Amino acid sequence: MDYLWADSLGIVGVILVVGTYLLLQLNRINSYSLSYSLFNGLGALLILISLIFKFNVSAFIIELFWVIISTIGVIRYFKRKKQTEKSS
């Protein structure tokens, strides 16, 4: 089995996704925070990049949805921030 640089990216992505979930469960991060969505999205994106080199359709689908959902979280974060600034 050859170990590619893409495997390293995938491992970093897994650490980001799992680590973010652990922080959420330990109440160290809020699910509405920007960092929560960014870490999840970045982790999923790194996993997607690694999948380009060793493709797996089911892993690709879940990571694609993870990126999309994380993007929604980032957009919602900035909308909430904008609304808060308007009401202040």
Sole residue written with tokens 């959420």: 24
- Kindly state the average pLDDT of the residues 54-70: 97
Range of the domain at 65: 5-87
**Which pair of structure tokens corresponds to residue 46?**
């790194």
Say if residue 88's pLDDT is above 80. no
Q: How far apart (Å, rounded) are the C-alpha atoms in residues 61 and 56?
A: 9
* 8 Å CB contact between 8 and 36: no
* Residue 24 pLDDT: 97
Q: Work out the angle at residue 46's Cα, subtended by the Cα atoms of residues 45 and 47, and round it to the nearest 5 degrees.
A: 90
Provide the domain count of the chain. 1
- Kindly state the average pLDDT of the residues 24-29: 97
Say if residue 35's pLDDT is above 70. yes
- Record the pTM: 0.91
For residue 15, how many other CB atoms are within 10 A of its CB?
A: 13
* 8 Å CB contact between 36 and 24: yes
